[in-house]
Amino acid sequence: MLTAPIYRGTTVQWSTTFYDLNKNIVQPTGAAIHLQYLDADGNIETATVEMTGPLSPGDVQWTALWDSRGAYPSRVSWSIHTEGGAVPYGVEDGAFDLLANNANLETF
């Protein structure tokens, strides 16, 4: 899924709910987002961002934040996976274009 463009310097947020094959909400022992993007020198970088589980009773959303300041304007690919099982399960994949212009300087 290609989402709307995002400007460099933005903190990108993901939220997801996990379901089993019967569409029942499940809570894994852990989850993470795996990212691939270009660094400021144009080299391919990968990062893993741990997701935070539900914070209050009744909440089912897992969330994660990624600071895009050190990335080069390019396509950023991401994939959410559960952790803690014998096999990690891919849950959702996507990409977005990270934009910047001359006034949007890199900051580290």
Task: Quick: pLDDT tens for 47-102.
Answer: 999 999 998 888 899 999 999 988 999 999 999 998 866 556 768 999 999 998 76
Distance CA(6)–CA(15), nearest Å, equals 16
Superfamily of domain 6-99: Immunoglobulins (2.60.40.10)
Distance CA(58)–CA(65), nearest Å, equals 21
Distance CA(14)–CA(33), nearest Å, equals 9
At which residue do the structure tokens 């970088």 appear?
A: 45
Predicted TM-score of the model (pTM): 0.85
pLDDT digits 0-9 by tens, 6-44: 999 899 999 999 887 788 888 888 999 999 999 988 899
